[in-house]
Amino acid sequence: MGTTLKSLAASDHPTSRGAAALIEAGYDESTPLEVLTPGSVTRTIAETFARELAKLYEQLEEVYDSAFLDTATGESVEVLVDTLSIARQPWWRRCLKPLGY
């Protein structure tokens, strides 16, 4: 196989972000994936970390997309529309001071 953390991190595989995070966490980038044998504690931690990190990135992307009217869906659209449809006073009303009678 010959795959290393570095080559996995550079790929477009869904776990590439997890591999990059493992490198940042202190794993040597030349660590072969074969060292992480099935059932080992290290592999279990690495796979769990990669899966959770992928979920986190998906959630962050969803949060980011929900902030824009073009990409928002569901309840996010309703919140954006409610926020943007606040009745505004005409400019001349804001400039005039109310008369005290």
Domains in the chain: boundaries = 5-95
73: left (phi over 0), alpha (psi -120 to 50) or beta: beta
Lookup: tokens for 93: 């009303």
Each residue of 42-100: pLDDT tens digit? 777 777 888 888 888 889 998 888 877 777 777 877 777 777 766 655 666 666 666 55
Q: Distance (Å, rounded) from C-alpha 45 to C-alpha 89?
A: 57
Report pLDDT for 1.
45
